Amino acid sequence: MRSLFFFVSVFFAFIANEGEAQSFWFGAKGGGAMNLQSWGNGGGDVSLNRSPMFSLNGDAFIESYDPLQKGSLYASLGFHTRGSGLRYFSVNNLFNDVLRYRFQNVVLELGAKKMLSQRGELFPYFILGVRGEYTVGNNLDNLVTFNTFVYPEFIRNFNYGVTAGGGFELPMSELANVFLEFAMMPDLSYQYEQFPLYNIRSPWPPYNRINLGLTQVRNLSIEIKAGVKFLRKVEYID
């Protein structure tokens, strides 16, 4: 919870700093994500046949005003679901794709944005940022009945990564723009890290005792979002 409090505090500190007698943009964005996970040195069947998991994510953000196209800074705070799917064959040899490993994360992102052009109807831009994420929920307890070797106690609640992407803005008025944004969001840390476990009872007949190796899970999300932002414009009059 300390990490979550830190995320929220940093976000509102950024807002307070931007709001001190200077112009800035603020708004919200939301959309879909294709979530992937790499399962290194997996234990049991959890490293096999990984498939994407799709989710809806959303953020509130603030962005510095950049009338000269020199570049701006931004901060966003949102709720994102990370995870992946597991394909498997049932006992009657019918293919299923029903298992989803979900991690609900509060995400703080700080970064820089560069507008490439403000000519024409659409303004292209790119972004580069760093992220901190705090896991507030997961569904691993619900997967026990599927005999998967994953345990909530090995979840790493704090994670971090980078964001790279870009998009297009469409001005609606002097004080409002809409935009479409694409981003690649790889994690640099592990969402789940299970150290070797020994003498574990197998959930399948004949229920032998087995050893599980190191399991490290890293997230990768590809997101597409639409959003709207509004300009709080400060003008100085002599």
* Token pair 């003008």: residue: 235
* Structure-block tokens of residue 136: 């507030």
122-133: per-residue pLDDT in tens? 999 999 999 999
- Contact between 176 and 169 under an 8 Å Cβ cutoff? The reply is no
Across the range 2-19, mean pLDDT stands at 58
Q: How far is CA 92 from the centre of its chain?
A: 37
For residue 238, name the pLDDT band (cuts at 50, 70, 90).
low
Q: What is the mean pLDDT of the chain?
A: 84
Neighbour tally for 147: CB within 10 Å: 11
Residues 6+ apart with CB under 8 A from 55: 32, 33, 35, 80, 81, 82, 83, 102
194-234: per-residue pLDDT in tens? 888 887 777 666 767 877 778 899 999 999 999 999 998 76
Tell which wins on pLDDT, 78 or 93: 78
Across the range 87-110, mean pLDDT stands at 76
Q: Where are the domains of the chain?
A: 2-20+31-232
* Token pair 């619900």: residue: 142
pTM of the model: 0.82
Tell which wins on pLDDT, 43 or 77: 77
Name which of 59-73, 83-97, 173-187 the model is least confident about.
Answer: 83-97
* Residue in 72, 70, 54, 52 with CA at minimum distance from that of residue 62: 72
153-189: per-residue pLDDT in tens? 999 999 999 999 999 999 999 899 999 999 999 999 9
CATH code, residues 2-20+31-232:
2.40.160.20
Residues 33 and 57: their CA atoms lie apart, in Å, by 7
Q: Is the pLDDT of residue 110 over 90?
A: yes
Q: Is the pLDDT of residue 76 over 70?
A: yes
Name which of 9-13, 33-37, 197-201 the model is least confident about.
Answer: 9-13
Overall size of the chain counted in residues:
238
Percent of the chain surpassing pLDDT 90: 53
Task: Give DSSP secondary structure letters for the chain.
Answer: -HHHHHHHHHHHHHHHHHTSSS-EEEEEEEEEEEEEEEEET--TTTTSSEE-EEEEEEEEEEEE--TTSS-EEEEEEEEEEEEEEEEEE-TTS-EEEEEEEEEEEEEEEEEEEEE----SS-EEEEEEEEEEEEEEEE-GGGGGGGT----GGGB-SEEEEEEEEEEEEEEEETTEEEEEEEEEEEBSS-SEEE--EEEEEPSSTT--EEEE--EEEEEEEEEEEEEEEEEE------
